[in-house]
Structure 1
Amino acid sequence: MGDTLELLRDRATALATAISGDSQPYDELPTTFRDADFVPGAALNLELFFRYLIEGIEPSVADTQPLIDRALTLVHDGMSLDEVLANYRIGAAFYWAQLMPLLDAQEYGIVPKVGLRLTEYLGLIMSRIAGALVEDARQPRWDLLERQREIADALLTGREPAGWAVDPESPPAPAFLVAVIRLGEPAPGTLTRLRSRLALVPGTLLHRDSGGWTALVPMREGDKDPARGLTHTLALRDSDPHPQFWIGVAPAASHAAIPAAYAEATAVAEVAGSLQLPEVVCRREHMMFEYAIATTGSTRHALAALLDPLDDQPMLGQTLDAFIDNQFNHNAVARALFIHRNTVTYRLSRIADLTGYDPLHPTGISTLMAARTARRLESKSFRL
């Protein structure tokens, strides 16, 4: 039995460290796992659970304190208690589904023990999280967090905050930079650090939404480039590897302008993440071409379909990509693909024949570039 349990622990640990939101079997997990910086918490949960399962050592309060602290932080940042606890339920179901098929028929006898220990472990962790949150809610700062959430929700939906939520000594800023955060595959702990840095900016309001997080960052009067200021605040440097999150930003000069800025920043963040743009803090002004395609739903679908005739000949699609990426330079494409320049010319003519749009003509290449962007968005199930 011991060897089997060790096998399950090794497999579970490998699953946790290799988690990726876009590949199987991880695509079954909700995006809230990435929002919660799932990997560090999963690793500790697995360590404590399997020690409890194999050695019979129940996790102490000190053992589980990092998990409690993480849950408190998520709730403070706007994630609901229901979501925090649901992560445990969904995570347990995920690991059960991945691990149980590894057992041979003669090993099924350990299933009741694993199931009982899992039930006991989940009950222990959830009760400690709930208890800590109840105690935290009794602290004076809880009212402040509730007020901040109420203000953020109201401003983003075009309402004035309720009177109880506004502190007359510290009212909401008159103007905000709306910053919408969307995740790729960031390193463990990245999102927690990002939220912590945003929260340190005086007057910043954090809001949890279905796709990620939004921050309302106060703008100073006369601030000509608040996006650059945000980049500095978050210590984002061009020389660093891409952190695998994207922040769409849009300024709102008044409270009434916030909903429109929120919609714009959301679209920018979604487009930047879908297209894996090199910038981290992204503005509509720097991606007008992509933004225009992304925000016209029916046209986007039609554009994406223009490249369907190339699906059966992937070399043509590869050549089109190289032609665009190399600024329409035939020689550069030939070098990039290790083919003769005449082959490039032939393939471009075949693209024209199959799609009806000539890559060597301004109108044709413009349409094909738009089609390529639309198809990349569609492949990411892009929706607005």
Structure 2
Amino acid sequence: MPEISEAARALALRCEARVNELARRMSRDSFARLPGYDRLPDEMKDVEIAATVRHGVRLFLRRALTPEVGGRGSMRLFRERAAQRAEEGMPLHLLLRSHALGMYVLWQALREVALPGDEAALVELADLLLEAQQGIVGAVAETYLDERSALETERRAQRRSLLRGLLDGTLSPARLAAEPFGIDGPCLVLAVGVDGGGVGGVGGAGLVGASASASAPGPASGEGDVAARRRLRRVQTALDHCFGVEVPALLDLGTEPGRAIVPGAAEPPEDLARRLSRAAGTTLRVAVVPAEGPGDVPEAARTAGEVLRVAAGCGLPPGMHRLDDVLLEYHLSRPGESGRRIAALLDPVADRPELLETLRVHLAHGQDRRATATALGLHPNTVDNRLARIAERTGIDLATPRGTSTALAALLLREVPEG
């Protein structure tokens, strides 16, 4: 900091007696011209803002009179007030304008007490004032934005926790009506997942949730945190646009499907999966299950997750899936003692993944050997040979309706995880 002349110090000293007057002038009159200032509580203006003004004016004058003043603690009150204003919701532009206007009023006060011949002293103090302004404005803006970011992060975490409780059924019914999701009647529950390679691909490379930390398997492998968050924001935005409302969603890049709740009973657009896939930059599956009200959301969420897994497990192409689309497969995939025994029928070919894949594709293509061969890039005779080996090892006769149903149930029970 450059040396302050005696004339500049004398000028600052003449202004020191006016500190309280300047604080009252700024907090009551000068700041009144700022848009929105008149809506602030009188206690805030007359006590907190006035005290901050007094601190700022005294800090400046003491720096002029004693240059070593203004160490690390000099910005503490400004930072505390900035964090408080952020928490109270004061707009940042109003906060920064009040600081800028306060500097200008202080400059006017210096001019008012200046005497003829004080021109050079005024220039010195103007330099000091501008230097102080950039430091204060920087500290205030930084603290305000940090506090708003922390508050927003906390708000999102609370909403995620509440939404997760609603979806999982751990949120008490008494709290449902009070929570900020706008869900007080019929709604749609969605499960969203990345289409993966193989029957269990959705469960292994799911896209969903607004979680801050996420690993990115499948198509997102190697994706950085910033890119992952941008991708999730695009999916959330596309979801909101598809339904014309803000859709509460848990979107993440984890191992489980993502979930969302659409308030109201509106039908989803037929191209929902395509639009979300375009936003995600990868192929998605979307399961849609209606719920009559908030109390039915947990069961609908479980069903949607199962529909998503079953649709992938039985070889349906990626897109939008409903329970009716996989009704038989959904029923056949229910667990239990009999289910475990049916799944075990395929144990003899568990060490031959190419046989299991051939069986899955063959059933998905209506047992059309040529369509199966085309899908797998094989000769039809190779498909026949593989199917024969499956029948030989397992004893399941794929030429009969009973054998076909048994094979489908066994596949689903083996490769679709229990919900």
Tell me the TM-score normalized by structure 1.
Answer: 0.49
Q: State the structure with more CA Rg.
A: 2
Alignment TM-score, normalising by the size of structure 2 = 0.45
